[in-house]
Amino acid sequence: MLKYLTIGVLLGTTAGISPGPMLTLVISQSLRFGIREGIKIAFAPLLSDLPIVVISWIILSRVTGFDQLLGLISLAGGVFLIMLAVEGWRAEIDTTVTSLAAPRSLTRGLLANILNPHPWLFWLTVGAPTLISAGSPLNSTAYVTGFYLCLIGSKLIIATIVGYYRLRLNPQHHRFLLRALSSVLLLLAAQMILKGCGQICS
């Protein structure tokens, strides 16, 4: 059990702090709207990964042309990231977020995760095979628990830090950070679109 818990912790921590759309969204939403909205992004994989795992297994066992399908997912994800980047570039700090402000953080997090090819590749190549090799419900539970505790926990820590310090930034620094994050999203979008086109044409 300890072996699979350790594997889950290492994989979850690595995934949680790795640069990518989800980490960028955690930072940008925390910066724009505060800790609460960054936390919603952090919890998105907990809700969206289950259908990814199930669909990945169906694709793996029954569907041909997986590369083309993954390419379409990458293209859709790239377009979605461009939309978020444009919005972030135009945004200003929001110090009056209430329950009626509707920053839609959870929805954005769910879409960003589902339209990101990396969770699909992870569960097809590493996550699911490791889960199968665990061999017992206790080992599987330890692996999944360690993975999601560290995946979500690392993002929660980042959201808390960014959200805490966001109001201590002057407007110029705040605008610079938002636009820098938007630029990162654009680079990630370009990477996903180019990769998607390559997979579709292969």
Tens of pLDDT, residue by residue over 31-44, are 888 899 999 999 99
Q: pLDDT tens for residues 174-189? A: 678 778 888 888 888 8
Of the spans 25-29, 100-104, 149-153, 188-192, which averages the highest pLDDT?
149-153
For residue 102, what pLDDT is reported? 54
Lowest mean pLDDT segment, chosen from 22-26, 98-102, 192-196: 98-102
Separation in Å, CA 122 to CA 22, 97, 126, 129: 15, 35, 5, 10
Helix, strand, coil content of the chain in percent (nearest 5):
85, 0, 15
Residue type, 85: A
Residue 115 near residue 75 (C-beta atoms within 8 A): no
DSSP sequence for 103-119:
--HHHHHHHHHHT-HHH
What is the signed CA dihedral for 74, 80, 81, 87, rounded to 10 degrees?
170
Which residues have a Cβ under 8 Å from the Cβ of 98 and sit 6 or more positions away? Answer: none
**For the chain, what's the residue count?**
202
For residue 97, what pLDDT is reported? 47
Q: Is the pLDDT of residue 17 over 90?
A: no
Q: Is the pLDDT of residue 147 over 80?
A: yes
Share of the chain above pLDDT 70, in %: 87
